[in-house]
């Protein structure tokens, strides 16, 4: 995708879709299709949706006590590989189109089931005490700032790099800004929850994450600072 807004995409299996806007991408492998009377739904999801999807799954199981929802959270690249290698799944939710499109081209996704059901933006996330006094993008390039971001294979890590490239093309920041920010990166995390975890225990001064991934529980320990739209 050409910009950094995260489009969360859903591959639809069965009735759990009613809780997820009734839309998505259906896994096309015959052995993975849901059957009448099936008591299990296997959902592969980007880790950025772990908080919301766990609550949704619990609500679904409460409403459908004969159904067990099994959740597998990881970054989209790992989930794609698992599916390609034959892992059993009914529903696939991803935070970008890259890996979904690849599965579609491989004949593992029902073409007409594609739906975007949610969007979000990146934000700077800092520990609540904010000892480094991070207030915006310029601060991320200051010497000594400990920054965490996603690995480039993960959607949120890819989007972060897109933001930095946009800023590098802006004369107000330039390539030197991007390079200074990357010099401050102390860790690249595979999932958003692992990035948030480092901030919660103050192992880092700031991170770049999906704003929607800062859960209600996280808000007592971390703060999200919006990234301006021109770069998001």
Phi, psi (degrees; rounded to nearest 5) at 171: -55, -25
Q: Are 207 and 198 in contact (CB under 8 A)?
A: yes
Highest-pLDDT range among 36-45, 114-123, 162-171: 162-171
**Joined tokens for residue 226:** 């919006």
Q: What is the pTM of this model?
A: 0.66
Closest CA to 209 of 125, 95, 93: 125
Phi, psi (degrees; rounded to nearest 5) at 44: -100, 125
Q: Are 108 and 27 in contact (CB under 8 A)?
A: yes
**Joined tokens for residue 220:** 């007592």
Please check the confidence at residue 127 and state whether its pLDDT lies above 60.
yes
Q: What are the Cα distances from residue 62, in Å, to 40, 67, 198?
A: 14, 9, 33
Rounded average pLDDT over 125-145 = 96
**Joined tokens for residue 74:** 């990881």
- For residues 118 and 152, the model is more confident at 152
Rounded average pLDDT over 214-231 = 86
- For residues 124 and 48, the model is more confident at 124
Q: Residue 227: its pLDDT value, please?
A: 95
Domains of the chain with CATH codes? 6-119 (3.40.190.10), 121-231 (3.40.190.10)
pLDDT tens profile 49-108: 777 788 788 888 888 888 888 999 988 889 999 999 998 888 888 877 888 888 889 988
Secondary structure of residue 206 in the 3-state scheme: strand
What is d(CA 68, CA 159) in angstroms, rounded to the nearest whole number?
34
CB-based contacts of 62: which residues, under 8 Å, 6+ apart? none
**Joined tokens for residue 171:** 């004369």
What is d(CA 191, CA 104) in angstroms, rounded to the nearest whole number?
23
Tell me which DSSP letter residue 73 carries.
E
Sheet of strand 122-127, all strands in order from the earlier edge strand to the far edge: 185-189, 147-150, 206-210, 122-127, 222-226
pLDDT tens profile 5-24: 444 443 333 333 444 433 33
pLDDT band at 37 (very low <50, low <70, confident <90, very high): low
**Joined tokens for residue 47:** 């880790």
> What share of the chain in percent tops pLDDT 70?
82
> What share of the chain in percent tops pLDDT 90?
39
């Amino acid at each position: 995708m050409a910009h950094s807004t995260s489009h969360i995409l859903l591959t639809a299996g069965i009735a759990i879709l009613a809780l997820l806007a009734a839309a998505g991408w259906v896994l096309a492998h015959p052995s993975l299709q849901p059957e009448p009377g099936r008591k299990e739904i296997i959902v592969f999801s980007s880790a950025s949706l772990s908080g919301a999807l766990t609550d949704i799954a619990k609500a679904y199981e409460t409403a459908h006590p004969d159904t067990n929802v099994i959740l597998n959270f990881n970054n989209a690249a790992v989930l794609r590989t698992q599916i390609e290698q034959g892992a059993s799944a009914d529903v696939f939710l991803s935070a970008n189109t890259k890996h979904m499109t690849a599965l579609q081209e491989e004949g593992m996704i029902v073409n007409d089931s594609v739906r975007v059901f949610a969007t979000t933006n990146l934000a700077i996330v800092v520990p609540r005490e904010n000892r480094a006094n991070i207030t915006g993008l310029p601060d991320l390039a200051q010497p000594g700032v400990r920054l965490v971001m996603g690995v480039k294979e993960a959607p949120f890590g890819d989007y972060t790099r897109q933001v930095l490239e946009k800023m590098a093309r802006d004369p107000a920041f330039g390539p030197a800004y991007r390079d200074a920010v990357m010099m401050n990166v102390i860790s690249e995390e595979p999932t958003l929850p692992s990035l948030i975890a480092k901030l919660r225990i103050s192992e880092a001064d700031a991170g770049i994450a999906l704003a929607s991934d800062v859960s209600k529980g996280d808000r007592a320990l971390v703060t999200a600072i919006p990234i301006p739209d021109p770069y998001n």
